[in-house]
Amino acid sequence: MSMNSQGRPTAPTADNDTGEMTPVFESFSGHQGLRIAEPLVFELGTTQTTGVDVEEIEDFELSVGGLERDSEIGCPGLAEPDVVRHFTRLSRRNYGIDMGVFPLGSCTMKHNPRLNEKMARLPGFGDIHPLQPLSTVQGALELMTELSHWITTLTGMPAVALSPKAGAHGELCGVMAIRAALEARGDAREIVLCPESAHGTNPATAAFCGYKVKSIPAKENGRVDAEALKAALDDTVAAVMITNPNTCGLFEDEIKDIADAIHAAGAFFYCDGANFNAIMGKVRPGDLGVDAMHLNLHKTFSTPHGGGGPGSGPVVFSDALKDFAPMPYVVAGADGFDIVEDGDDTSLGRLTAYHGQMGMYVRALSYMMSHGSDGIRQAAEDAVLNANYVLASLGDVMSASFDGPCMHEALFDDRFLKDTGVTTLDFAKAMIDEGYHPMTMYFPLVVHGAMLVEPTETESKYNMDQFIRSMRGLATEARAGKTARFEGAPYHAPWKRLDETQAARQPVLRYTVPEAAE
Ligand SMILES: *Cc1c(COP(=O)(O)O)cnc(C)c1O
């Protein structure tokens, strides 16, 4: 039985030395202690009941022009406590940044400071509508202007478009601006170059904008092959999309030289700025020759990520591209702030219905202002320090893909698992039993069986040591041929191994009433 330092038992069941387990009985309820069985919401309620008591509606004239629904809506009627319990129980099966270390690489899953939430709920930011008269939202427009100032200062770029709603959307914005700039000079080009290590959204964006994508190989040291890139540059290349630091967690050290070559060929340099967390306050992309770059506010600037909140992907532009930035944008005039929504002839147009993710602007600016410029630099330094701590602590039992220190994420591959029968997938599933969300698996594609770990600056030494202990334990067992805990992992998760391919390709998104119940 494991004991804490005070001699009190911390875990009632497993005894690692004897392997003795407390017997587990089937419960009558189907629940297992705090692990409560949860049916679908449709199975909990019925369409015949309702959780609210409303008066019978008197006869009325329908005014939807024949578009009224002709079938039942099919939603189960549940009382409020049942709805609250259902979603609370589901939420407890989820893993989030508020539960523990979330080491997904390139995602920068950092803590979302509660101060941000408080600011975003201030009525002047939280309770406004995009169609309100501008005279009543001057504070919000000032905040957008202030945020733009921080972003352009940190990146060393002259202009920013706030409205894109995610990193991928920002890429779309940037490449559309590049296309608009090329068309304006009557120079339609057809190719976009992407390194092999690129995030899938880069080639997808280029293809979506009508370009052919050409892949540029990586060198032995994990950086893009600058010579191969230069050889591929000619007057058919519209843009080169490079992530820096790249998805191997490495700084592209020839980036300035590459940028000069891109410009000499008349092309544009799109930088994927998803990994800006590693260099903010240290390096300004504007000084590296970048023409357009998105920032992921939900990564670098601590706004909620994934299911926790909408993304936001502002794009910064160089002088060569800034006239092609999308509308709307905020301008400061003698009578206060105004929004330019149309009439800008060079702008690529509009990418969003309104002005973007206001709530995320407030959170990101709160993060920036509460850190200050020195704090932002420190956050980048600590993120890099933490990643290198992981790399140095695990380098002897796992196989680091590249020599030397890393930036914000540590990349391992599956060479240390060779001939053990354990795969990267098994290893990741065993991490779930350890109480961790797995790291990024099988990406980047430039190494075999990749495991990409990004701890971020918000993990303390205590958390890092616990995580490292766990990873060391798993790696050591796998190498020693003790594969039992990997074979059926996860043993302790509510759901075991799902068919992830089918879930991605053929998701079942609609509940169908079982025939017997109809
Ligand atoms: C996250 C990420 C993206 C895409 O950003 P989203 O906000 O998820 O659309 C693009 N490139 C890299 C390198 C990323 O890590």
List, for residues 101-155, the tens digit of each pLDDT value.
999 999 999 999 999 999 999 999 999 999 999 999 999 999 999 999 999 999 9
Q: How large is the average pLDDT for residues 449-478?
A: 97
Least confident of 73-87, 405-419, 478-492: 73-87
List, for residues 362-417, the tens digit of each pLDDT value.
999 999 999 999 999 999 999 999 999 999 999 999 999 999 999 999 999 999 99
Ligand 1 centroid–CA 200 distance in Å is 9
Q: Considering the chain, what percentage of its residues have pLDDT values greater than 90?
A: 77
pLDDT higher than 80, residue 183: yes
Ligand 1 centroid–CA 171 distance in Å is 9
Class of domain 115-370: alpha beta
Judge if the beta carbon of residue 360 lies within 6 A of ligand 1: no
List, for residues 7-37, the tens digit of each pLDDT value.
776 665 555 566 555 566 788 888 888 888 8
Contacts 24+ apart (CB under 8 A), 335-344: 336/134, 336/135, 336/138, 336/141, 337/134, 337/138, 337/141, 337/142, 337/145, 338/134, 338/141, 339/134, 339/141
Record the pTM. Answer: 0.91
Residue 216 parent element (H or E): strand 212-216
Backbone angles phi, psi at 359, to 5 degrees: -60, -35
Please name the amino acid found at residue 380: A
Judge if the beta carbon of residue 112 lies within 6 A of ligand 1: no
Ligand 1 centroid–CA 202 distance in Å is 9
Judge if the beta carbon of residue 296 lies within 6 A of ligand 1: yes
| CATH 3.40.640.10 given to domain 376-505 | no
In the structure, what pLDDT confidence band is assigned to residue 512 with cuts at 50, 70 and 90? Answer: confident
| Atom 2 (ligand 1) nearest CA | 274
Angle between helices 201-208 and 167-184 (to 10 degrees): 40
| Atom 5 (ligand 1) nearest CA | 167
Domain ranges of the chain: 27-47+77-94, 115-370, 376-505
Backbone angles phi, psi at 35, to 5 degrees: -90, 100
Ligand 1 centroid–CA 313 distance in Å is 9
pLDDT higher than 70, residue 164: yes
pLDDT for res 308? 63
Average pLDDT along the chain: 93
pLDDT for res 25? 77
List, for residues 302-316, the tens digit of each pLDDT value.
999 876 679 999 999
Local structure of 320: helix, strand or coil: coil
Local structure of 453: helix, strand or coil: strand
List, for residues 345-357, the tens digit of each pLDDT value.
999 999 999 999 9
